[in-house]
Amino acid sequence: MEQNQFSKPLVSQSTALHLCFWLGTFGAHNFYAGKTVRGVVQLISAFIFPIITLVVMFIDLYAIIKGTYVDGQNRGLELNASKWPKKIYGLFYPAMVGLIILAVIVAVVVPKIMG
């Protein structure tokens, strides 16, 4: 990790991953990465359009896991963690998407069967 005295320390991928997973709907990972405007927009949107911010959180979570998420200065994240958090969240991501799809199907089908 190369830094001079004026550069901001690199953003940790593991910290961004945990912030996105636990507080991603509110944009905590965006604030941490230096994307303040995007964080504020996501924070306000979380109370107005919660489903949209949840989808954005999953997209960001996927980008952090794949390593394509960049910080506010368009730099990649610092890879300082073991591969276990990426593996755990990497397994969680497809499972959560599957559960959301299943919930939508049940929400559409069950009222038609019952009604």
5-34: pLDDT as tens digits: 555 568 888 889 888 988 999 999 999 999
Of the candidates 34, 35, 36, 90, the one whose C-alpha atom is nearest the C-alpha of residue 58 is 90
Distance separating alpha carbons of residues 88 and 72, to the nearest angstrom: 26
Q: Assign 46 a pLDDT band (cuts: 50, 70, 90).
A: very high
**Residue 94 confidence (pLDDT):** 73
Q: How far apart are CA 34 and CA 25, in angstroms?
A: 16
Which region, left, alpha or beta, applies to residue 93 given φ > 0 means left and ψ of -120 to 50 means alpha? Answer: alpha
| Cα 64 from Cα 50, distance rounded (Å) | 21
pLDDT tens digit string along 63-114? Answer: 988 889 999 888 888 876 566 666 666 677 677 777 888 888 888 887 877 7
Q: What is the pTM of this model?
A: 0.67
